[in-house]
Amino acid sequence: MSVFISRIGFTKVGDHWEKSIAEMAFQASKNILKEESSSPDAIIVANALSELSSSQGNLGTIIADALDLQGVPAYRVEAAGASGGSAINLGCNLIRAGQMKSVLVLGVEKMRDLDPAKVMQAQGLSENADYSQFFGISIAAMNALLARLYMHEYGVTREKLSAIPVVSHRNSSTAEHAQFKKKFTNEEVSRSESVADPLRVLDCAPVGDGASCALLVSEDKLSSDQRKESVEVLASESSSNIVNFFERGKMLHFGATQTATEKALKKSRLTMEEIDFLEVHDSYSELAALSLESMGLSKPGKACDDANSGRFDLNGQFPISTFGGMKGRGYPVGAAGIYQVCEAYMQLTEKAGFNQVPNARFGLVHSMSGIDSSAFVHILASSARRNRN
């Protein structure tokens, strides 16, 4: 059974001090629910940190009640940074299996309410507590170790590592819903405040609040006119990996990302050369680089060179993070993967404004938990343009 995204909604990423998690969820989804004649068959809420940030569990039911969807089955999905990607995957599988005709997938996260110590604790929950929390190593420090290994192995300089955040911030500068709208140079990224050497502040995705949602529907729920304005989910695939990257045989290769990408391309019957843009998990500079290399878009150690060359720009061969990604748009953890899907929808329906990739027909969305602990890859197609020459 074919799955389509018929509508999307989201809030600007940033500070939402005055709103609760439920209020943010309502703000993101109210227009979808207003325009639909019937309630969705289910709601899936993606969230990673509500127990820490808002002292709130049971989030599926809490949000269903806030959306006046009492009686609708409600679920909560958690997979750290891949929570949103996991929720989209689950929603697609329910529809493909014939269990549901429509699923509202909603991601929400409040990060700005946390003090710095709690932020550090929250970000570390994606790693194996027996190692990271027991020894007091933060997620930033673990990414710094990986970045140092990457730079040493491939001779990547500090300034070259800055290339991918430069692309992300260039794209976020024209994205209305982005948390940060300032462009940076490689030198400015390299000289920003140190977080965990060699990583700088501008290598790391910021803390932000946000909510995003997508309405997934089966093909028979769409009229011919609605189908023209919808985006088809050609594939939604996932894979897992050894959680501790330092226990893997190849520490600088993301096996979950590679496997999920290969499965999604095979399912969609496309090659990577046919993909017009990618929304990549770029919460840290080296994660983005290694993801692009593990997908086969760049040779090992060359993703930063490719970013410097313009290959990943909006008018390049493979545009990435077209609205700034997690680095520029912001990173409300549980909602991030659904923001990516919403942004891909905007590209494929020609609603991306200044960030539009010309004649985009196929987009790839990549979400990751931890350091490639798991990966979710969705391939989306424009219903109106996929058959154009």
Task: Note the pLDDT tens digit of each residue in 336-371.
Answer: 999 999 999 999 999 999 999 999 999 999 999 999
Q: Which of 29-43, 259-273, 308-322 is predicted least confidently?
A: 29-43
Query: Rounded to an integer, what distance in angstroms lies between the CA atom of residue 65 and that of residue 81?
Result: 25
How many Cα atoms within 13 Å fall on the side-chain side of residue 209? 21
Virtual CA dihedral for 141, 147, 148, 153, nearest 10 degrees? 150
Task: Flag whether pLDDT at 36 surpasses 90.
Answer: no
Q: Which residue has the higher pLDDT, 31 or 384?
A: 31
Q: Which tens digits make up the pLDDT trace of 202-237?
A: 999 998 999 999 999 999 988 877 888 899 999 999
pLDDT, tens digit (0-9, with 9 covering 90-100), for 148-205: 999 999 999 999 999 999 999 999 999 999 999 999 999 999 999 999 999 999 999 9
Q: What is the pLDDT of residue 228?
A: 82
Chain centroid to Cα 56, Å, comes to 23
Asked if residue 258 lies in contact with residue 290, where contact means CB atoms within 8 angstroms, the answer is no
Adjacency order of strands within the sheet including 42-46: 74-77, 42-46, 102-109, 210-218, 3-10, 231-240, 374-382, 362-369, 277-279
pLDDT of residue 116: 72
Task: Find the helix or strand (DSSP H, E) in which 164 lies.
Answer: helix 163-172
Domain ranges across the chain = 3-114+207-226
Residue 387 has pLDDT above 70, yes or no: no
Fold (topology level) of 3-114+207-226: Peroxisomal Thiolase; Chain A, domain 1 (3.40.47)
- Lowest average pLDDT, out of 19-23, 51-55, 92-96, 196-200, goes to 51-55
Residue 54's pLDDT is 85
Chain-wide mean pLDDT for the chain? Answer: 93
Closest CA to 4 of 389, 382, 291, 388: 382
Smallest Cα–Cα separation from 379: which of 287, 277, 240, 292? 277
Please give the single-letter amino acid code of residue 66: A
pLDDT level of residue 122 (50, 70, 90 thresholds): low
**What pLDDT, on the 0 to 100 scale, is given for residue 388?**
45
Output the pTM of the full model. Answer: 0.95
